[in-house]
Structure 1
Amino acid sequence: MTEASKREDRSGSASISSSSAVIVPLAAEHAEQVLAIYQAGIDEGNATFETTAPTWEAFEAARLAEHRFAALDADGAVLGWVAATKVSDRCAYTGVVEHSVYVRPDTRGRGVAAALLKALIDSTEAAGIWTIQSGIFPENTASLALHKRAGFRIIGTRERIGRHQGLWRDVVLLERRSPQVV
């Protein structure tokens, strides 16, 4: 995330300062904008090991339909998105998902990511999911702070876990355990 993303709503509130923004289920009609936001995050270099956004078909197939959301402005433009994937097909992990959250660079600092995380948390808790996890590059301090405000905790660091742009990168592992699903 850029310096602008470090200005994300520090209160942890899920409100969006623009009264016209709304959180909706992520749908195929959002595909082009969602993938462009994903690619912008990829291009910044501290969001993911991926080097290019997938096709919409691959994106959609990998993410759980009931746990993906978009933030839209009054004109229907996508401001950001959040989506979860299954961690494993093993039945012991049915209550564990991994997520990603991305916000359009020019709309960071407006509480969009916090609102998207709240929508994800609400949907996963309603579905009986007890753990949301994520891996974040340690250099992505804005995302780490956002997740901490949303109730995630650091559970460890995977050191030099993969190469990215010619460098070995660490990944900080975070999780949010549901206080409602026991």
Structure 2
Amino acid sequence: MRVRPAEPKDANLIAAIYNQGIEERSSTFETTPRSPADMLERVNSMKRYPVLVMVDDADQVVGWAGLSSYRARACYDGIADFSIYLDSSIRGQGLGKQLLQSLLKEAETHGFWKVLSRIFTFNHASLALCEACGFRQVGVYEKHACLEGRWLDCAIVERLFPINQPA
């Protein structure tokens, strides 16, 4: 498996993988499936917020990870939210670590000083992945949102990069 920047041609499979996560109700509060056009818009905004894909030997997308804006205020320009989704057929093989580490390198290259996310507290695989990639859990948002009548807590994870300060 290898990781590369997402291309417009990848939007169909990125949407399909994201829709698996939406259907499973294990990693996002989203309930509306995403179309390829939705994901193409995200791929096309990669200048500031990269989207990477993991591809197999046939160049078929089997996972994706991306950065997005944390908050609109200028003081938060160096902070990005991240998302990562793997096709159900490849989960549990340690491939998420390769993809997330690649995304973290991109984040640092793009000048972010912090990457963070909110993860359902019952999503042990994602929490373990974050820990393995150097994230720390900084707290829990209790009853962060309601998903199909069930209030869910989210762990807040962050990974900081060294900040180059002027001498």
Partner of 1:113: 96
* TM-score normalised over the length of structure 1: 0.83
Shift of 1:126: 1.1
In the alignment, the residues of structure 2 paired with residue 167 and residue 109 of structure 1 have an alpha-carbon distance, to the nearest angstrom, of: 27
Mean Cα deviation higher: 139-148 or 88-97: 88-97
In the alignment, the residues of structure 2 paired with residue 95 and residue 88 of structure 1 have an alpha-carbon distance, to the nearest angstrom, of: 10
Unmatched runs of 5 consecutive residues or more in structure 1: 1-20
In the alignment, the residues of structure 1 paired with residue 89 and residue 38 of structure 2 have an alpha-carbon distance, to the nearest angstrom, of: 26
User: Is the 1:70–1:81 Cα contact (8 Å) retained in structure 2?
Assistant: yes
Unmatched runs of 5 consecutive residues or more in structure 2: none
Partner of 1:16: none
In the alignment, the residues of structure 1 paired with residue 89 and residue 14 of structure 2 have an alpha-carbon distance, to the nearest angstrom, of: 14
Partner of 2:35: 55
2:2 to 3, 22, 25: 22
* TM-score normalised over the length of structure 2: 0.90
Partner of 2:46: 65
Greater relative contact order, per chain length (Cα 8 Å cut-off, separation 6+): 1
Partner of 2:107: 124
- Report matched runs for 1:1-182 at 5 Å: 21-62=1-42, 64-66=45-47, 67-179=50-162
SS in 2 for 1:65: coil
Tell me the alpha carbon deviations over residues 112-157 of structure 1, each in whole angstroms, 9 at most, x when there is no partner: 2111111111111112100000000001000000001101111111
Mean Cα deviation higher: 80-89 or 108-117: 108-117
In the alignment, the residues of structure 2 paired with residue 82 and residue 51 of structure 1 have an alpha-carbon distance, to the nearest angstrom, of: 19
User: Is the 1:130–1:181 Cα contact (8 Å) retained in structure 2?
Assistant: no
Runs of 4+ in 1 over 4 A off after TM superposition: none
C-alpha RMSD of the superposition: 1.6
SS in 2 for 1:176: strand
Mean Cα deviation higher: 98-107 or 38-47: 38-47
In the alignment, the residues of structure 2 paired with residue 40 and residue 32 of structure 1 have an alpha-carbon distance, to the nearest angstrom, of: 13
